[in-house]
Amino acid sequence: MFLARRLFDIGRDAWRALSPAQKAERLDEVRGIYDRITQSFLNSENGVSTVNLMEYETRVIEKGDYDEWLK
CA nearest to 58, candidates 15, 22, 1: 15
Instruction: For residues 26-54, give the mean pLDDT.
Output: 84
pLDDT higher than 90, residue 17 = yes
Q: In the chain, what are the domain boundaries?
A: 2-70
pTM tops 0.85: no
Give me the torsion for CA of 18, 19, 21, 24, rounded to 10°: 40
